[in-house]
Structure 1
Amino acid sequence: MTRANDLKAWQQKAQAQTELVLERLLPSENELPQKLHEAMRYVTLGGGKRLRPLLVLAASELGDADLAAVEQAMGAIEMVHVYSLVHDDMPPMDNDSLRRGKPTCHVQYDEATALLVGDALQTQAFEVLSRPTALPAARQLKMLSVLAQASGSLGMAGGQAIDLANVGKPMNQAELEQMHGLKTGALIRAAVVLGALACPGLGDGEIDRLDRYAAKLGLAFQVIDDVLDCEADTATLGKTAGKDADNDKPTYVKLMGLNEARAYAEALVAEAVALLQPFGEKATHLRQLAEFVTARKH
């Protein structure tokens, strides 16, 4: 089996596991309030690359992981990610009508429901992550702290605020990387660290190395997102192509040019993969996921 086929088979299995975990952890649409729960399931289930839960799972392969903690982290980080997409698509933000190949939440339902879906998914994530596991209490508390910091004003939400404040304004590379290190990179870093924290045997030095890998991966992911926004069509992306240019947002393509941006992403991935060397074969899927980031078409 080739490396590409091996990754594809593992991805499909891991994505199916993520789907089952999310189905189990989300409230039933038959439970009051039904419309809210139906909408939460509509936006969360049946779509997306599931990169963040896959990173949790891949990082957990580096040690003797607690399965319950791993699956709770997979579900929690995807819920936070989906909540951010729901709010990001709304009219005051990016005002998009398509996400993961289907109508966005505020289009399918209404704006008030979309707001509540985001709020509910965010809080559901922390409820899920706080459920009992066999991990030491301090380890589980650290997992909650990692996700909270990655989600808030010093993480994803802060990056989104910087993004909105700079529409139509030029940004240099350092400013662009600071913004995306928060907006996109923070949750990707959290995913890898959560997977590592689910392995009681992994120490601070190893987790720090994994965090540095994830920081480079998160930046590469955003650079390729900017490239694909220019290169791919709406059907392939599953969201509206060309939105960044239409909204006059600062991007790596605008700053560097298309070919240079792609080359930069490939260099970042190479640096990320090099950081995994001490983990040997156990880090195979983390390596393959990094390489997938620059090879992906959506």
Structure 2
Amino acid sequence: MTGFARAERQLGDMRLRVELKSVNSRGLDLRLRLGPGLDALEIPLRQLLSRSLARGAINLVLTLDRSAGAGAVRLNQQALAGVLAAIAQVRQQVTTDLPRPEGILALPGVLETGEEAGEIDEDQQTELVLDCARQALVSLQAARRQEGAEIAAVLLSHLDTIADLVVRAEAHPSRDRAKIEARLREQIAALRDDASLPQDRLAQEALLLATKADIQEELDRLRAHIAAARKLIGDGGAVGRRLDFLAQEFNREANTLCAKANAVELTAIGLDLKAAIDQLREQVQNVE
């Protein structure tokens, strides 16, 4: 979910620049920094980003610069002509001295700065800003998609590791009922001199232990989670939160497998599963 993009627009003396930076976040966190007088654009910019992005901490910086000539003073000939015509009409009706030039220049509209002369209306400015933000957003999404393709390969590799460990756990000999019964005999012999125990009682206890140690349900769910995760990655789109949920379910099954393990080797497989799942979950945080 990381990326950086910049877009610029030029209109007369005005130069607009939008910068977007994205870093990882569990949800969508929008932080906007707008130049002076641009606060009214915050809501439409937030709406634009929210429609296009689902996850990540997004920083938007909007700056509006005007060239040095934008502040130059110039005479508005049309306004001046109107003022002089009005003065001539007044002097036809009332005898009065001509006004001083600085007085005429002080009248509203006679003098204007370059900024006022090149000013655009609010709607035009909003559309210009949004168009510039859209361009920056397209570039940011392209950068995030490229990163996502690389992360997808890493996620699939972790899923392959988890799938291999599931196969190893399922094939482990400690899950065999005959093995459990033999181990039970050894434990009984170690506890008492007379290792004799009715065969039916021994079989009953072995069956009980095998039932408690049965991890088939956990293995089946792990396989289902692997298939679901692979499908999400293949489908693409904003799947980060669903993958994060699946990673939690992976971890839950691995914990149960470790708790049920009746052999050191099977416990080791469970711990390797937890390590692979942790690596998967760390990478999922980078997915939108």
TM-score by structure 2 length? 0.26
**Greater per-residue strand proportion:** 2
**Greater per-residue helix proportion:** 1
Q: Which is higher, the Rg of structure 1 or of structure 2?
A: 2
